[in-house]
Structure 1
Amino acid sequence: MAQAADLPIRTECPPGLCVCARERLLLDPGADARILRLTRDEEKKLLARIEAVASYAELRKIEQRMRELLGIALTIRPGPNEVRTVRGFIIEVAQLPGLCRKTRQSIPAAVRRCLDQHPEIAYAVLDAHDLFGSGAQRG
């Protein structure tokens, strides 16, 4: 936690608008406070970077870096029904103490915009979940 005190941390949300439990996180010396490094300016940079992704590998790398640096778990998978558009994907950010409600909505929205701009990434997500049946048709 001492290291987090040296770095700028996210300012608190207006009272009553968010349930991020930021104060509880700050008071717990054993808590994982990495998420507090995501200031509003850093969040804007992250969202811009997600939207600028040009390949599935790059999206996976950002997903991994978010987990390593901030503790954010991002899940992107096809929905249970037919996927005809990007709206058919389930894009979730796991709830995490200190993670603002607005940020939990902004990250999936940025991923959707990325997938809209680059359908080949959406196809790669489908393929990664073996929805094209590539493994079943070989042989």
Structure 2
Amino acid sequence: MVQQLPFPIRTECPPGACTCDRERLLEDPAGDLRVLKLTREEEKRLIARIEAIATYDELRRLTGKLQDMVGIDLQITPSVHGVRTVRGLTIRLAERPGLCRKLRQSIPAAVRRCLDRKPDIVYAMLDAHGLLADPGLATSDAAGDAGAPDLLS
């Protein structure tokens, strides 16, 4: 039996078009229904909000709010082999019941558009992961290059 909810929920996808397990989630009394709060109108507002992000701190706050408010885990990870473009970042939503296929595509696409427009966010993200540090700079004095400035201090 499907439970009645005190808030509007996302309309179901056409049969066969999605693998979100919406019905199974609605039937589970212990299921986390927060993701269903993200209606199509809310999704449009979220996409606009993501595309308007201006700093890495804003992006981090938004990912935290997504997790807290609707239970969506947005994961953005740089490749350990280096990132030359935004395509070198892995942007995905963690799988969970109720998360529509369309959402799994539209949110990462909006993040990618934002990062394409604001490369400073990518640089800050790479710096936070320690991928912008040049290990050769740390040993410049040890190699006898006393005239070179120490950029790590």
Supply the distance in 2 between the matched residues of 1:70 and 1:55 (Cα, whole angstroms): 22
SS in 2 for 1:111: helix
Supply the distance in 2 between the matched residues of 1:108 and 1:80 (Cα, whole angstroms): 20
TM-score by length of 1: 0.92
- Written as runs of structure 1 = structure 2, the 5 A alignment for 1:24-35 is 24-35=24-35
Question: 2:148 is matched with which residue?
Answer: none
Question: 1:8 is matched with which residue?
Answer: 8
Supply the distance in 1 between the matched residues of 2:109 and 2:21 (Cα, whole angstroms): 23
Residue 80 of structure 1: how far off its partner (Å)? 3.8
Residue 82 of structure 1: how far off its partner (Å)? 2.9
Supply the distance in 1 between the matched residues of 2:6 and 2:46 (Cα, whole angstroms): 21
Q: Which has the larger radius of gyration?
A: 2
Residue 92 of structure 1: how far off its partner (Å)? 1.1
What runs of 5+ residues in structure 2 fail to find an aligned partner?
Answer: 139-151
Residue 20 of structure 1: how far off its partner (Å)? 0.2
Structure 2: which amino acid aligns with 1:92?
A: R
Compare the two structures and name the one with the higher helix fraction: 1
Residue 134 of structure 1: how far off its partner (Å)? 7.1
Question: 2:103 is matched with which residue?
Answer: 103
Q: How many residues align?
A: 137
- Percent same amino acid among aligned pairs? 58
- Written as runs of structure 1 = structure 2, the 5 A alignment for 1:54-133 is 54-133=54-133
Higher relative contact order (CA 8 A, sep 6+): 1
Provide the aligned C-alpha RMSD in A. 1.8
TM-score by length of 2: 0.84
CA deviations on 1:70-108 (whole Å, 9 max, x unpaired) are 100011111243311111101110011000011001111
Q: Tell me if the contact between 1:11 and 1:39 (Cα under 8 Å) persists in the aligned partners.
A: yes
What runs of 5+ residues in structure 1 fail to find an aligned partner?
Answer: none
Q: Tell me if the contact between 1:77 and 1:126 (Cα under 8 Å) persists in the aligned partners.
A: no
Q: Tell me if the contact between 2:82 and 2:131 (Cα under 8 Å) persists in the aligned partners.
A: no
Structure 2: which amino acid aligns with 1:52?
A: A
SS in 2 for 1:5: coil
